[in-house]
Amino acid sequence: MPQVSADAHVPLGPDAASALAESLPPTPLRVPPHVRSLHASWRFRPEPEGALAIHTIAYAAGPAWLATLAHEPTQWVLRRQATRRVEQLAAAARSGGWGA
């Protein structure tokens, strides 16, 4: 299953960063019509003075001939959305408006 991911350092520990990610307003993904299924997830890896927030979007596309032709544009569209989401999380963490 193809996937894209984006990451950013956040000045929170993994548990606080995870709680913040869950509290962010939902942002529906704009999904190309040939994408048949999609799963988005967060991971948080401890780092000095915070955590590395990793947002991954895994997807399946079809039919196979179209998925092959559209692979690069699909990766670009979904990676851009993952990047925006981690940037949103990092900005919220830096602003201190996360309530912890």
Domain boundaries, the chain: 3-95
Side chain identity at residue 6, one-letter code: A
Sign of CA dihedral 71, 60, 82, 53: negative
Residue 21: how many CB atoms within 10 A of its CB? 22
Residue 40: how many CB atoms within 10 A of its CB? 17
Question: pLDDT of 10-48, one tens digit each?
Answer: 999 999 999 999 999 988 999 999 999 999 999 999 999
What does the pLDDT read at residue 96?
A: 79
Span 43-63, average pLDDT: 96
Residue 100 has pLDDT above 60, yes or no: no
CATH number for domain 3-95, candidates 3.40.30.10, 1.10.8.10, 3.30.530.20, 3.40.50.300: 3.30.530.20
Give the pLDDT band of residue 97 (cuts 50, 70, 90).
low
Q: Is the pTM of this model over 0.85?
A: yes
DSSP per-residue codes, 42-62: EEEEEETTEEEEEEEEEEEE-
